[in-house]
Structure formats: structure tokens, C-alpha cells
Amino acid sequence: MKFFNTLTRTKEEFVPLKPPHVGLYTCGPTVYDFVHIGNLRAFMFDDLLRRWLEYRGFNVTHVMNITDVEDRIINKVRESGKPLKEVTNLYATAFLADLDRLNVKRAHIIPRATEAIPGMIAMIEKLIAGNHAYVSDDKCVYYSIKSFPEYGKLSHRQVGDQSTAVARIKSDDYDKEEMADFALWKAWDEKDGDVKWDSPWGPGRPGWHIECSAMSIQHLGETFDIHCGGEDLVFPHHEDEIAQSEAATGKPFVRYWLHNAHLLVEGKKMSKRFNNYYALGDLLAKGWSGREVRYVLLSAHYRDPLNFTMDGLQAARSALQRMDEFLLKLDANPAGIVPDLQSRFDAAMDDDLNTSAALGALFEFIREANKRTIAASEAAAILATWQRIDQVLGFGMPVKSEAPAEVLALVEERQAARKAKNFKRSDEIRDQLAKQRWGIEDTPKGPRAKRI
């Protein structure tokens, strides 16, 4: 099993620290608004990775944080006049519901930043004691980049490089020793209202990066296996996490860093301005299912930009119908050869989670299987394999819809009309059933009613 590690920029064989255990930390949302389809791609990727590890027999501990204190949240609190908890609970609850609708597995542990502040303070104290951080005149605490020579190893950039934007930009807001230094603790300000916690440096709130260091270490240990996030988090967020964590513990922080690419919507950067900004709820309101969204999000490799389109959703709907059709008929029909479905699927996924190739293997299998008559014993084997694979893809197995008695009566009536060569009547009945979303297939074994 190989994964592309951002740290080394190469595909590496994955070997956990303590097999079969795997510690997995994935960056969760900042709950200041409903998540959008781009955010969801990241969480889908986390889910895929976690499912693949479990499929491969690893015992995964999956931790995903919820960031419930941050500038934009504070803005929301101020604008709405509602307490912090109320604002963050609203969006956190909606977020988890979105995950459910996409059939994303819940992380085993979902810590919230505001519940982990003592741990963050302890870590900051450790950093100050080790001369990796300093308290400024404005009562903020900053991390000193120059105290960590390896800073930049994840994002592969040189700090202090005059060509970087960071070096060019002037900061009037904060009292940092060096531009690239980042806040570990932000002193309370009037505009923060009630949002504040006591600390050895006075009231304030934690900086953004420290929460992930504190919470991941608390739940997974000082060195753990995998840390994920969107590619935008590589710098500065994850770079800063490394700096804080390794300076505080003196140990390597994360062994494999995996980052997913962003997506485009209808070929363009997603933006409210382009009218192509979608939350999951927007798509569901248009009649798409979570399953269809899931399919689209899994159809491209996670490290490539994905073009999310309405046409793509339609294509996903058709593709899923093809799968369902195959599976639903399987027990009645059944398998020549269950060729290398499993091995091809496994090989594709082992190669840095190549879902496109994995889906390709599935469809090639469907075509081969559809060509032949399948014995019942083989049908059972196929279904068992498919169910195993679906533990990873998470589309769910199709459920046969049982037609109600009145539909079945019409089906029989139509069949009688056909026997009597009364095709006008039989077509009428078919049209009538179609209006009730029931389709008919005339098979050698007789008519089959199916949901359409």
C-alpha cells in the first residue's frame, strides 16, 4: 500500500508505527458557516482513506477536530448577538448531518478546540520554556520560527525569502519579532466580547494551529501515523503544527502527510460570485442524492483537481443505476468467472487510493458478467465480494423495491393484454405505471417491475 507523502513528495510504502494500529488525524471544519462541496471533498477523502485502511485490516483510530473558536466565528457571534456555543453548535450539527448524508463514517473521536484549551496552554508553556515562543508586549504569545531550523520542510519553502509574500507584507496588527512568526495565544480584545479564556498571559484565546497539535497528540500520541487535510492547509497550518509539536516534544510529529486537491465547479473556481457555490443542502434540494454526490467526489483521484458539474451528477446517477441494475439482477441471474475483480480493485486502491481505476475495474467486471449466465453459487460469491468492496466505496447495496399489489395487478393485466396482442392497452398500462415511477422490463422469465 502506497501513499503520496507531502513531506517527501513521493509515493511511499505505508508502514504504521505500531501495526496493526494506525493513528489518523484529519483536519475538521471551522464551524462559522455551512460547509460547501469543496470542504466535503476533503472529508470524503478522509473517509476513503480510513475505510481503505480498515479494509486492509488496520485498526484505525480516527480523530477529527472541530474548530469552534476562530476569528470568523467571533465575527459571527458579534453580528448575531448569539453566544459562541449556539453559533458553533448550529454549524457543527449541520456538518455532522452532511457527513451522514454522504455516508461518511464518523471519526472515533471528534474533539472541539474549546474543550482542549488546558492542553494547548500546557503546550505553549512548554514552548516558552524551551525558548521556542515568546510573550509580546501586547500579551500575545508567538512562536519563533528561527528557533526551529527545520521550519519549511513540509511545504518546501524557505522562510525569510524576500520573494515570498510574507516577507513583503507589513503587519501593523501584531507585535511579532519576525514576520513569519505566528500566534500561539491571542490576547483578548474588546471586539472578542465574551469569547475568552484565562491563561498565564492573561485572558485570550488560542491561535489556530495550536489546537491541532494539542488535540492530535492528546489522542494519538506525540508521534502518529497519518495527518490529512486540504492542500491549502500545507502552509502555514500544517507547517506550523510540525514546528510547534516537534519543538515541544522533541520527537517527529507525523509520519505521513496526505493532502487532497481542491475542486472546480463547472470548470471555475467555486465562488458565490459565479453562482456555483454549493452546500450539500443546495444539491439535495435540486433532487440529487448524497450517494450521487459521493460518487462524483470519488470519481477522480484525490490529488487531482476535480471538476464538479451538474452533468457529472447526472452521469453519476446513470452509472450508479448501471451498478444497481447489475446487482439487483444477480440473484435471479448469476457468474461465469469472478475474474480478478477483487485483485484489480485492491491493486488500484493500494496505489495511492486510485478510485478512478478502481471504478474502472468494477465496470469492466460488470460488462463481463453481464455477458454470461451466472450460476447461483457464483452470484453469492460476487455479492460477497461486492459487499466487501462497498465497505470502502460506501455507495451502499441497492435494495429491491417490492411493487405494491395494485402495481402488480396492472403488470398482470398488461401481460394478459400482450398475450392477446392488445398492444394499445398494454402500452397504456405501461405509461400509467411510468407515471407512478414504475418501469417494466419484459424478460424471458416474465415482466419485472422496477422503480424508476
The whole-angstrom separation of Cα 441 and Cα 449 is 7
C-alpha cell at 266: 463547472
Instruction: In angstroms, give the least distance from the CB of 174 to RNA.
Output: 7
Q: Minimum CB separation from RNA for residue 325, in Å?
A: 5
- Shortest distance in whole angstroms from residue 183 CB to RNA: 6
- Least spacing, CB of residue 63 vs RNA, in Å: 15
CB of 405 to RNA, least distance (A): 21
Residue whose CB is less far from RNA, 207 or 290: 207
Min dist CB 408 to RNA, Å, is 16
Compute the least distance from the CB of residue 154 to RNA, in Å: 11
Least separation in angstroms between residue 67's CB and RNA is 8
Residue (37 or 220) nearer to RNA, CB: 37
Q: How far is the CB of 443 from RNA (least distance, A)?
A: 6
CB nearer RNA, residue 125 or residue 351: 351
Complex with RNA: residue 144 or 260, whichever CB lies closer: 260
- Return the CA Rg of the chain: 27
| Residue located via cell numbers 460488470 | 366
Alpha-carbon distances, residue 156 vs 8, 123, 151, 249 (angstroms) = 9, 25, 9, 22
In the bound state with RNA, the residue whose beta carbon lies nearer, of 356 and 387, is: 356
Pseudo-torsion of CA 28, 31, 35, 39, nearest 10°? -30
Please say which residue, 18 or 156, places its beta carbon nearer to RNA. 156
Whether the CB-CB separation of 184 and 207 falls below 8 Å is answered with yes
CB 38 within 8 A of CB 263: yes
Of 18 and 363, nearer to RNA (C-beta) is 363
* Residue 121 or 233 with smaller CB distance to RNA: 233
> Please, which residue, 106 or 367, has the CB nearer to RNA?
367
Beta carbons within 10 angstroms of residue 208's beta carbon: 21
Strands 268-269 and 263-265: antiparallel
